Amino acid sequence: MNFISMRKKSSKQLSQLRIVLIGRVGAGKTGLMKTILRSSKDYKEPDSESHLCVCSNTEKCHKEKVEIDNQEVVVVDTPGLCHSKKTDQEVMEEVKRCVSLASPGPHAFLIVLDEFKFTVELQNMVELIWKTFGKNAAKYALVVFTHKYELLDQSELGKADEIIKHKIKENSQLQQFVSECE
């Protein structure tokens, strides 16, 4: 996953790249945010880990801005869907607020998944995302798989890309969802 190289392929350079992370509780959105932010040579880890923790309890939106390869990148972390104490509709209200932090609008929705099974829970989550932002949001969506060390055997890590593609093809619903995300 390299957003900067994706941007460089386009003939028109954006003054700012705005990314919104969406996924269920514990999928790895905050960890992915930290990984993106660390791509900036100027990014400084916060003094307090509670500022941007790698945990499954993001309750409110969190926005960070860094420069990567002369490109301003805004990353917005959102609360997780499939929350045990809140309804998905309550969480989506906060997610909608989060999207406003990427004003005038996100260039990309990163839908963060931590498994290859397209469960009913994930199907419902995706339907809620499309219902909230419109089916057109799929044009700006990318699927990111996290937790590869937990998803794959140690022997598979060297061939992770091939294996992930194979696992997507094995599950027709997951394959359809990934292909919807242009």
pLDDT tens sequence across 86-145: 888 888 888 888 888 888 889 999 999 988 888 888 888 889 889 988 889 999 999 998
As a whole number, mean pLDDT of residues 141-151 equals 84
Give residue 131's Cα distance to chain centre: 18
**Strand partners of residue 66:** 73
As a whole number, mean pLDDT of residues 50-54 equals 42
**Cβ contact 90:80 at 8 Å:** no
Q: Is the pLDDT of residue 181 over 50?
A: yes
Residue whose token pair is 């969480």: 91
pLDDT at 64: 92
- The end-to-end CA distance of the chain, in Å, is 14
Q: Is the pLDDT of residue 51 over 50?
A: no
Q: Which CATH number fits domain 16-44+52-180: 3.40.50.300, 2.40.70.10, 3.30.70.360, 1.10.10.60?
A: 3.40.50.300
Q: Is the pLDDT of residue 82 over 50?
A: yes
Order of all β-strands in the sheet with 62-68: 62-68, 71-77, 16-23, 108-113, 141-145
Where along the chain do its domains lie?
Answer: 16-44+52-180
pLDDT at 12: 54
Tell me what the pLDDT averaged over the chain comes to: 81
What DSSP string runs through 54-106? SSS---S-EEEEEEETTEEEEEEE-PPBS-SSS-HHHHHHHHHHHHHTTTT--
Q: Which two tokens stand for residue 180?
A: 């919807």
Give the DSSP H or E segment for 175: helix 172-180
Q: Is the pLDDT of residue 5 over 60?
A: no
> Cis omega before residue 106 (within 30°)?
no
**Which residues are CB-neighbours of 85 under 8 A, at least 6 positions away?**
none
**Strand partners of residue 65:** 74
As a whole number, mean pLDDT of residues 165-179 equals 90
